[in-house]
Structure 1
Amino acid sequence: MREFLELNPLEKFWQQLESCLEKKKLQVEKIKLNNAAGRILAEDILSPVDLPPFSRSTVDGYAVKAADTAGASASMPTYLDIIGSVQMGQKTEIELKSGQVAAVPTGGMIPQNADAVLMIEDTEKIESKMIESFKALAVGENIVQKAEDIGAGELLFKKGHKIMARDIGALAGLGITEFDVFQKAAVSIISTGDELIPAEAKAKAGQIRDINSYSIAAYLDKIGAETKKVGIIKDKFDNLKSALQKELGQDLVLISGGSSVGIKDMTIDLLNSLGEPGVLLHGLAIKPGKPTILADIEGTIVVGLPGHPASAWTVNTVLSAEIVRVLNGEKKPSEMGSENNKYFIEAELTRNLVSDKGREEYIPVKIIEKNEKLFAEPLLAKSSLITNLAYGDAVLKIPQNKEGIDKGELVRLKLIE
Structure 2
Amino acid sequence: MSGREFFTTRTVAEALAGFRPAHRTAVEAVALSEALHRVPAEDIPSPHALPGFVKSTVDGFAVRAADTYGASDGLPSYLDLLGAVRMGAAPTVSVRPGGCVAMPTGGVLPEGADAVVMVEFTAETMPGTIEVTRPVAPGGGLVRADDDVATGAPLVPGGRPLRAPDLGLLAAAGVVTVSVHTRPRVVIISTGDEVVPPDTATLAAGQVRDATASALAGLVLEAGGEPVLAGIVSDEPGALKDKLTQVLPGADLVVVSAGSSVGARDETAGAVAAVGEVWCHGLAIKPGKPTLLAECGGVPVIGLPGNPLSALVVFGQIGIPVLWRLSGCEIPPPRPSTRALLSRDLASAAGRLDVVQVRVRDGVAEPLFGPSALLSVLTRADGYVVVPEPATGLDGGHDVDVTLYA
TM-score (norm 1): 0.88
Residue 342 of structure 2 aligns with which residue?
349
Shift of 1:228: 0.7
- Confirm or deny: 8 A CA contact 2:191 2:234 kept in the other structure: yes
1:259 maps to 260
CA contact (8 A) 2:10 2:280 kept: no
Partner of 1:217: 217
Provide the residue aligned with 1:177 in structure 2.
Answer: 176
Give, in angstroms, the shift of residue 404 of structure 1: 2.6
* Partner SS state of residue 80, structure 1: strand
- Counterpart check, 1:365 vs 2:366: no
1:102 maps to a residue whose letter is: V
Report the CA distance between 1:365 and its aligned residue. Answer: 1.3
Q: Which amino acid aligns with 1:353?
A: L
Confirm or deny: 8 A CA contact 1:203 1:209 kept in the other structure. no
| Residues 197 and 203, structure 1, Cα contact 8 Å, conserved in 2 | no
- The secondary structure found in structure 1 opposite 2:89 is coil
- Paired AA for residue 85 in structure 1: A
> Offset of 1:315 from its aligned partner?
1.1
- From the superposition, tell whether residues 140 and 13 of structure 1 become closer, same or farther in structure 2 (CA, over 3 Å): closer
Cα offsets for 1:11-53 (capped at 9, x unmatched): 55446623xx13x355222222111111112111222222121
1:383 lines up with 2:372 in the alignment = yes
- Measured in 2, the distance between the counterparts of 1:26 and 1:151 equals 31
What is the rounded CA distance, in whole Å, between the counterparts of 1:361 and 1:134 in structure 2? 64
Residue in structure 2 matched with residue 268 of structure 1 by the alignment: 269
Partner in structure 2 of residue 4 of structure 1: 5
Q: Residue by residue, what CA displacement relative to the aligned partner does 1:290-341 show, whole Å, maximum 9, x if unpaired?
A: 111223222222211111111001110111112112211101xxx7xxx877
Cα distance in 2 for partners of 1:79, 1:45 equals: 47
Contact between 2:29 and 2:177, CA under 8 Å: does it hold in 1? yes
Is it true that 1:99 corresponds to 2:98 in the alignment? yes
Task: Indicate conservation of the 8 Å contact 2:63/2:100, yes or no.
Answer: yes
Q: 1:78 to 1:404 in 2, by over 3 A?
A: closer
Which residue matches 1:234? Answer: 234
Query: AA paired with 2:192?
Result: G
Distance in 2 of aligned mates of 1:14 and 1:129 = 69
**2:388 — aligned with what?**
399
Q: CA 1:282–1:61 in 2, change beyond 3 Å: closer, same or farther?
A: closer
Aligned to 1:297: 296
2:19 aligned partner, one-letter code: L
Paired residue secondary structure (2:248) = coil
SS at match of 1:189: strand
Superposed CA deviations along residues 210-256 of structure 1, whole A, max 9, x for unmatched, are 21111111112211222211123333335434332221111211111
Name the amino acid aligned to 1:390.
T
Are 2:109 and 1:120 equivalent residues in the alignment?
A: no
Task: Give the Cα–Cα distance (whole angstroms) in 1 for the partners of residues 186 and 72 of structure 2.
Answer: 69
Residue 311 of structure 1 corresponds to 310
1:71 CA displacement: 3.1
- Structure 1 gap ranges (5+): none
User: Contact between 1:7 and 1:285, CA under 8 Å: does it hold in 2?
Assistant: no
Task: Give the SS at the match of 2:247.
Answer: coil
CA pair 116-204 structure 1, distance change in 2 beyond 3 A:
same
Give the secondary-structure state (helix, strand or coil) at the position aligned to 1:382: coil
Distance 1:348 1:99, change over 3 A: same
Equivalent position of 2:55 in the other structure = 56
Is residue 2:402 matched to residue 1:413? yes
Equivalent pair of 1:64/1:114 in contact (CA under 8 Å): yes
Provide the C-alpha distance between the structure 2 equivalents of 1:121 and 1:413, rounded to a whole number of angstroms.
Answer: 46
Say if 1:303 and 1:381 are closer, same or farther in 2 by CA, change over 3 A.
Answer: same
- The aligned amino acid for 1:224 is G
- Please report how far the alpha carbon of residue 146 of structure 1 lies from its aligned counterpart in structure 2 after TM superposition: 2.1
Report the secondary structure of 2:227's partner residue.
strand
TM-score normalised by length of structure 2: 0.90
> Using a 3 Å threshold, how does the CA distance of structure 1 residues 192 and 62 change in structure 2: closer, same or farther?
same
Counterpart position of 2:246: 246
Structure 1 residues 77 and 14 mapped into 2: Cα distance closer, same or farther (>3 Å)?
closer
State the percentage of identical aligned residues: 37
* Greater CA drift, 211-220 or 295-304: 295-304
CA distance in 2, matches of 1:2, 1:94: 90
Which has the higher mean CA deviation after the structures are superposed, 234-243 or 287-296? 234-243
Matched positions, count: 402
